């Protein structure tokens, strides 16, 4: 067995008769950060959804060596996979603290908010506020803090910078770097902001119409001629 | 004046029964968006169960407790077996399924127990208390106490337990709930179970005041629909208050408005439903539906 945390091999998935993914393979090692790049509609979000069982995949998805392709989302979460969905998926009418509690739902015992509040002091101030009243940036903090409550081995982040002001985006990536360094959490990040994510990722995969067209270390991908023209803009 | 106060207290007592059944409707509507037309029949069936246990020689208190436990289970089974397969279907399908369930349970009760009237013992005895010239039955006080107890327990479950938090989350955002590891299906099942318990309570509380037969909950469910509509279909607090308002309105209309009397008072809830839907469709405490254009 290799030491990979997440191994996706020959993954096909789609919605009804529409196939979105064709034979996608990728791996994420323990503590590794992998970026998933590509244009709109390339299948990035679907890849994340297939990994956590929100769409039924064909092919193999292994987490820590266990085949989870047929498992329910709840089971996969219990293996330590936290998905921060596009649009954040916060529970708007519930309070910030309740949202965080829900992040630790599949863990036993009393949840500790210490780390979440350390990384995002803003959330502690707004602890008793309804999540729906937070600003966009604060909601994104909450979504990531909630994912951390699981003490995940692997975080799936879907466009974490979407809709955030440039200053907030930089702060967000700084925080993700802290999480990577201190917690050693592996991450699979879907991101439009290719420049930023390639600075911080170890490896990257580029999807085009449901296929991986380029894969390698972040540096390799960043220096690829075609990639630079298409996504990095120089 | 005494007569007025007595009428109001009586209305609140009856309203507590409507409130309990309205609470059942709200619990299911909030979590699944389904209006369960069979709620009253499920309650009637539970009440027959309690009656059968008393016939077998059990004291009424124990019979009711066993019935509530069985109702919890029964509600969960109904959700799993009949509702889960049509989850997410168009509203017409869901309405058809709960109406079918209504007919099924009603027919089953008639087949098992027949259509004749039966007496049902009260849990509270038939004493009276008189305070400052106002006389109320122990039963009325008991009804109000039971409903307040139910509301208290539900509040504790929903606000203070992990299970309750999971149920609220599953109701608000099922997709995100799965992503944090909440077994959404089990939450919905439990919601139906809790609703069946509230309904069963309404049944065993109302049965001593009427006669027990398969048509027991017919009038009650109409008042409860009015209560839930008035209070707001997604607000448990509104359901209880709505129940009381409807109960008092019914008692006052029946007691003071000559031409209404006992026969016409069923029109009270219908008038309430109609006016709420016209004036304030989301009820007193419900959240209005907002859609972005």
Q: What percent of chain A has pLDDT over 90?
A: 41
pLDDT tens per residue across span B132-151: 777 788 888 889 999 999 99
Are both A56 and A95 inside the same structural domain?
no
Domain count along chain A? 2
Per-residue pLDDT, B50: 95
- CA end-to-end span of chain B: 54
Using pLDDT thresholds of 50, 70 and 90, give the confidence band for residue B96.
very high
**Does B179 reach chain A within 8 Å, measured CB to CB?**
yes
Q: Are A204 and A218 in contact (CB under 8 A)?
A: yes
The minimum CA-CA distance between A89 and chain B, rounded to whole Å, is 5
Nearest CA among B270, B261, B216, B254 for reference residue B17: B216
Per-residue pLDDT, B293: 44
Domain boundaries, chain B: 2-279
pLDDT tens per residue across span B222-247: 999 999 999 888 888 899 999 999 99
* Chain B residues whose beta carbon lies within 8 Å of the beta carbon of residue A105: 162, 165-166, 169, 180-182
Are both A59 and A113 inside the same structural domain?
no
Are both A98 and A70 inside the same structural domain?
no
More confident residue, B256 or A158: A158
Are both A166 and A140 inside the same structural domain?
no
The minimum CA-CA distance between B275 and chain A, rounded to whole Å, is 29
Per-residue pLDDT, A114: 92
Which of these three, A106, A130, A150, is where a domain ends?
Answer: A150
Over residues A101-105, mean pLDDT: 93
Are both A185 and A165 inside the same structural domain?
yes
Q: Which residue of B has its CA nearest to A107?
A: B181
Per-residue pLDDT, B69: 96
Q: How does the average pLDDT of chain A come out, rounded?
A: 88
Cβ-nearest to B181 among A54, A74, A92: A74
Hey, are the CB atoms on B176 and A74 less than 8 Å from each other? no
Which of these three, A150, A169, A187, is where a domain ends?
Answer: A150
Which residues span the domain enclosing A112? 89-150
Q: What is the CATH number of the domain that holds A38?
A: 3.40.50.300
Per-residue pLDDT, B289: 60
- CATH code of domain B2-279: 1.10.3470
What CA–CA distance (Å, rounded) separates A51 from A6? 9
Tokens of A115: 């780390």
Using pLDDT thresholds of 50, 70 and 90, give the confidence band for residue A231.
low
pLDDT tens per residue across span B146-186: 999 999 999 999 899 999 999 999 988 888 999 999 999 99
pLDDT at B17 over 90: yes
Are both A196 and A227 inside the same structural domain?
yes
* Chain B residues whose beta carbon lies within 8 Å of the beta carbon of residue A92: 172-173
pLDDT at B290 over 70: no
Over residues A161-181, mean pLDDT: 90
Over residues B197-210, mean pLDDT: 92
Are both A177 and A65 inside the same structural domain?
yes
Are both A164 and A127 inside the same structural domain?
no
Per-residue pLDDT, B122: 85
Per-residue pLDDT, B72: 96
Over residues A17-25, mean pLDDT: 86
pLDDT at A163 over 90: no
* Chain A residues whose beta carbon lies within 8 Å of the beta carbon of residue B181: 73-74, 77-78, 105-106, 150
Q: What percent of chain A has pLDDT over 70?
A: 97
Residues of chain A with a CB closer than 8 angstroms to some CB in chain B: 52, 54, 72-74, 77-78, 82-83, 85, 89-94, 98, 101-103, 105-106, 146, 150
Q: How far is CA B14 from the centre of its chain?
A: 12
pLDDT at A89 over 60: yes
pLDDT at A45 over 50: yes
Per-residue pLDDT, A43: 87
pLDDT at A33 over 90: yes
Q: Report residue A84: phi and psi, to 5°.
A: -100, 100
Per-residue pLDDT, B292: 46
pLDDT at A200 over 90: no
pLDDT tens per residue across span B268-286: 888 888 888 888 888 888 7
pLDDT at A193 over 90: no
What CA–CA distance (Å, rounded) separates B161 from B180? 17
Cα Rg of chain B (Å, integer) = 19
pLDDT at A1 over 50: no
Are both A132 and A69 inside the same structural domain?
no
Hey, are the CB atoms on B179 and A78 less than 8 Å from each other? no
Q: What percent of chain B has pLDDT over 90?
A: 56
Over residues A92-121, mean pLDDT: 91
**Burial class of residue A19 (count of CB atoms within 10 Å of its CB; 0-12, 13-18, 19+):** middle
pLDDT at A232 over 70: no
Q: How does the average pLDDT of chain B come out, rounded?
A: 88
For chain A, the three-class secondary structure string (H helix, E strand, C coil) is CCCEEEEEEEEEEEECCEEEEEEEEEEEECCCEEEEEECCCCCHHHHHHHHCCCCCCEEEEEECCEECCCCCHHHHHHCCEEEECCCCCCCCCCEHHHHHHHHCCCCCCCCCCHHHHHHCHHHHHCCCCEHHHCCHHHHHHHHHHHHHCCCCCEEEEECCCCCCCHHHHHHHHHHHHHHHHHHCCEEEEECCCHHHHHHHCCEEEEEECCEEEEEEEHHHHHHCHHHHHHHHCC
Hey, are the CB atoms on A150 and B180 less than 8 Å from each other? yes
> A7: which residues sit within 8 A by CB, 6+ positions away?
A27, A60, A61, A62
């Amino acid at each position: 067995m290799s030491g990979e945390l997440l191994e996706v091999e020959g993954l096909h998935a789609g919605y009804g008769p529409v196939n979105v993914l064709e034979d996608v393979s990728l791996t994420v090692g323990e503590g590794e950060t992998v970026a998933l790049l590509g244009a709109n509609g390339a299948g990035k979000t679907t890849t994340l959804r297939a990994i956590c069982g929100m769409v039924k995949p064909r092919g193999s998805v292994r987490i820590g060596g266990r085949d989870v392709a047929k498992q329910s989302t709840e089971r996969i979460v219990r293996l330590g996979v936290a998905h921060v969905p596009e649009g954040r998926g916060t529970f708007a009418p519930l309070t910030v603290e309740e949202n965080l509690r829900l992040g630790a739902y599949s863990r036993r015992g009393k949840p500790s908010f210490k780390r979440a509040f350390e990384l995002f002091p803003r959330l502690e101030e707004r602890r008793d506020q309804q999540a729906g009243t937070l600003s966009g940036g604060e909601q994104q903090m909450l979504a990531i803090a909630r994912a951390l409550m699981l003490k995940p081995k692997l975080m799936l982040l879907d466009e974490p910078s979407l809709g955030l002001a440039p200053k907030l985006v930089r702060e967000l990536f700084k925080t993700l770097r802290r999480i990577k360094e201190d917690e050693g959490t592996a991450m699979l990040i879907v991101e439009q902001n290719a420049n930023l994510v390639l600075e911080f990722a170890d490896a990257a995969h580029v999807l085009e119409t449901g296929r991986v067209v380029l894969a390698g270390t972040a540096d390799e991908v960043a220096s690829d001629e075609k990639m630079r023209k298409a996504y990095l803009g120089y | 004046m005494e007569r007025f106060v007595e009428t109001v207290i009586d209305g609140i007592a009856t309203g507590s029964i409507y409130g309990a059944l309205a609470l059942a409707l709200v619990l299911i509507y909030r979590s699944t968006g389904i209006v369960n037309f069979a709620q009253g029949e499920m309650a009637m069936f539970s009440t027959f169960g309690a009656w059968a246990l008393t016939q077998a020689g059990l004291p009424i208190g124990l019979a009711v407790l066993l019935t509530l436990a069985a109702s919890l289970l029964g509600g969960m089974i109904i959700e799993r077996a009949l509702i889960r397969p049509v989850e997410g279907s168009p509203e017409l399908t869901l309405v058809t399924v709960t109406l079918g369930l209504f007919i099924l349970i009603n027919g089953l009760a008639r087949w098992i127990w027949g259509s004749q009237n039966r007496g049902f013992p009260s849990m509270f005895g038939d004493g009276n208390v008189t305070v400052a010239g106002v006389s109320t039955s122990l039963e009325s006080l008991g009804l109000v106490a039971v409903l307040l107890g139910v509301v208290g327990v539900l509040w504790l479950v929903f606000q203070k337990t992990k299970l309750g938090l999971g149920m609220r989350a599953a109701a608000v955002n099922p997709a995100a709930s799965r992503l944090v590891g909440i077994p959404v299906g089990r939450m919905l099942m439990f919601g139906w179970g809790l609703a069946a318990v509230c309904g069963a309570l309404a049944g065993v509380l109302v049965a001593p005041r009427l006669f027990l037969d398969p048509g027991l909950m017919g009038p009650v469910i109409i008042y409860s629909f009015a209560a839930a509509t008035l209070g707001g279909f997604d607000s448990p607090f509104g359901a209880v208050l709505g129940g009381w308002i409807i109960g008092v309105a019914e008692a006052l209309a029946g007691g003071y408005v000559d031409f209404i009397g006992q026969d016409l008072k069923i029109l009270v809830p219908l008038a309430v439903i109609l006016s709420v839907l016209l004036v304030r469709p989301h009820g007193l405490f419900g959240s209005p539906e907002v859609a972005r254009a």
